[in-house]
Amino acid sequence: MWIVEIGKQSEKFLDNNSPDIRDIVYDKIRNVIEWLENKNNLIVDLKKLKGAYLGFYRIRAGKVRIIISIDKINHIIKIQNINFRGNIY
């Protein structure tokens, strides 16, 4: 079982935007969890980041980008940041 931790900045983004965006973000996180557990053969748009974001991953969800860290040992996904494509990096 995976634990998902959401940072304050990510919570604020989700609270300030439409429920549709929130649903898309949650669906993408669910897909990553299923992919990590090998429950299905989903193609997950997960990219390992470089530079200042070394150790983090990016998920694309339409115009929204989700920056996460994955702790495979403790089964924790931490959502570091969520924002629109032009504002995230």
Boundaries of domain holding 67: 3-75
Is the Cα torsion angle 88, 66, 9, 50 positive or negative in sign?
A: negative
For residue 27, being part of any structural domain is answered with yes
Q: How many domains does the chain have?
A: 1
Q: Examine residue 81 and state whether it is found in any structural domain, yes or no.
A: no
| Average confidence score pLDDT of the chain | 92
| pTM of this structure | 0.88
Residue 46 lies in a domain: yes
Please check whether residue 32 lies inside any domain of the structure: yes
The predicted-structure confidence for 25-55, as pLDDT tens digits, reads as follows 999 999 999 988 887 677 788 999 999 989 9
84 within some domain:
no
8 A C-beta contact, residue 4 and residue 29: yes
**22 lies in a domain?**
yes
Q: Is residue 80 part of a domain?
A: no
The closest of 81, 57, 61 to 69, measured between CA atoms, is 57
- Is 44 part of any domain? yes
